[in-house]
Every structure is written in C-alpha cells, then in structure tokens.
Amino acid sequence: MKLRLLAAVLILILPTGCAPVRKAVTDIRQRSAQEEKLSLAVELIARGRTDNAAVLLDAIIIEKPVRGVTDEALFRLALLRLPSEPRTGDIAKATKLLDQLQRDYPDSPWAHQALPLSDFIAEIPARIEAAGELRRQLKTLRDLNLSLTRENKELRLNLEKLKTLDLELERKLKP
C-alpha cells in the first residue's frame, strides 16, 4: 500500500520536473534586477538626474510587481511627477501613481507615507481656487481704494475752493 502511494506521488511529481524551482529562480533574478534598478534610480535622484531616474522607475512599475520594490518605485515616481508649480503643472500623474500605490499595496510603508501626501495634493486645486479668489478680491479692493483716494483728493480740493470762496464773500460783504 505504501509502495503504491509512493509510486503515485512520484508519477504525479515527475512530470512537473524542475518547474517550481525554475520559477523560484526566475522570481529571485527578477527581484534582484528590479532592486538593482531601484538602487540606481535612487542614486540618480541623489545626483539630480531625475529624468533618468524616472525612466528607471517607470520600467520597474511596468514589470511584474515585486512587493517592497514596486511600491517604493511608485512612491518615488509620484514625487518626481509632482510639478514644481502646481498651477502650471499637472498633478494628475502624481495622484494616479499614489492612488495605485495605496490600492495595490495597502500594507506597504510607502502607502502609509503616501496617504497624507495624497490628501495634501487633493486639496491643491481648492487652495489654488481660493488663492485666485483672494487675488480677485485684492484687485477689487485696490481699485476701490484708488477710487476713494481720488474722490478724497477731489473733495479736499473742493473744500479748499469753498473756503477760498467763503473768504472772498466775507471780504466783499465787509465795508
């Protein structure tokens, strides 16, 4: 009975051959290659070569996901995609990457760091709109101030003219 069970197990295992081992080796090589790319990208960022780093980070994200590597690549690429001037830049790319990070790797430390950043980025359009509204109000108030200053100056001139006319009238009435 034991011999038959052993034979059955061998018959089932032998056709699979070394496939599980090959898959494990392939996964290890892929992880190592992606870790190498990530390390190089971090080094390029430190040197200020962010465009080259972004290319490497994009390549990592496109490849088969590797936990601990792809999530960090998503976070770093999102930071690189943040525009220096939000009014002229496109924050949608960074937002999309941060959302992907939080969706695909919710337990990652990078996802936890991305959460407050995502919240801050989400508030940017409202803050830009509020700043624009404040600028419009400031312009309106400056225009109103200028108008009132002119009117005030005009009233002072008219008051001086009235004083002068009043003095002349008094002189004429006195014999």
What are the pLDDT tens digits along the chain (175 aa)? 665 655 555 565 555 555 565 666 666 787 788 999 999 999 999 999 999 999 999 999 999 899 899 999 999 999 999 988 776 567 888 999 999 999 999 999 999 999 999 999 888 888 889 999 999 999 999 999 999 999 999 999 999 999 999 999 999 888 6
State how far the Cα of 143 lies from the Cα of 82, in Å rounded to an integer: 36
Q: Is-above-0.75 flag for pTM?
A: no
CATH top-level class of 16-173: mainly alpha
State CA 120 to chain mean position distance: 8
Q: Which two tokens stand for residue 27?
A: 């996964």
Residues 6+ apart with CB under 8 A from 117: 78, 98
Which residue, 44, 115, 49, is CA-closest to 78?
115
φ/ψ of residue 88, rounded to 5: -100, -20
Indicate the length of the chain as a whole number. 175
